[in-house]
Amino acid sequence: MPPNSKDKLVGRKIVVVGGTSGIGHGAALALLEHGAHVAIVSSSEEKLNAALKRIDHPNASGKVSDVRNEEQYTEVLKSLAPVDHLIYSSVDKIIRGAIADADLDDAKWYFGVKFWGSALTGKIASKYDIINSGGSLTLTSGTGAMKPGTTASIGGSLNAGLFTMTQGLANELTPKKIRVNCVVPGMVVTELWDKMGASKDQQKEMFDSSSKKLPVGFVATPEDIAEAYLYCVRADYANGTLITIDGGGVLQN
């Protein structure tokens, strides 16, 4: 008999790559609240230790690994196996700005985390018995793939590529009975905006302006986006699905 819906994640082992901050951290907290055992993978030992100290939960653990190092990252995921679900939310920096001013070498570097890190995670899940049959892999994209505007030609293309990767991996991992879905967040209040060089006052102005335009009337926190990750790991009938969670932003003209 399947577990009661409210107890579905109790005791499940879930890996969150990029769970020390932002939406990955929000997902890790939500999963712990639902009784899961969560292992966070981060490229920074300092950030990992700080995150685990903040979380202060007996079911939370962590490993250090850089997704740009295929051999090391593969061994870390193998050491955590078998797991029931794997969430990939790692991102280095938002790629935004006029393409005429773009530093393509920087863009390639940032692709290495979000895009190629996702591809490598899919490769490892396919090649090795990392995820249990009936489990899931959840990737992370962004609504810039659907509405890149005038400053997201490169970043939007990165996110759009993850749409195709999600559906391609869902087909490739079918023999293993591993579902693959993708969370597609809109604007979120995270530390990434600090990396973009925006001051706190500039961020507040931006979030306030966006809140007035969004149908829901506010900009999401990582905890709001975590609901989409919970859906992806809990919904056994969801596969190859793009879960847009953007406060109705795609409805805007």
Domains of the chain and CATH, by start: 5-191+221-244 (3.40.50.720)
pLDDT the model gives residue 1: 46
Rounded to whole angstroms, the Cα distance separating 24 from 71 reads 23
Residue of 74, 84, 17, 75 whose CA lies nearest to 51: 17
Rounded to whole angstroms, the Cα distance separating 36 from 123 reads 25
Beta-carbon contacts of 234 under 8 Å, excluding residues fewer than 6 positions away, are 5, 8, 9
Other beta carbons within 10 angstroms of residue 149's beta carbon come to 10
Do you find a cis peptide bond into 82, omega within 30 degrees of 0?
yes
Rounded to whole angstroms, the Cα distance separating 112 from 119 reads 10
Segment-wise mean pLDDT, segments of 10 residues, the chain, 253 residues: 77 97 96 98 96 97 97 98 97 79 85 93 98 98 86 88 97 98 92 73 84 92 96 97 94 74
Rounded to whole angstroms, the Cα distance separating 234 from 236 reads 6
Measured between alpha carbons, how far apart are the two ends of the chain, in Å? 47
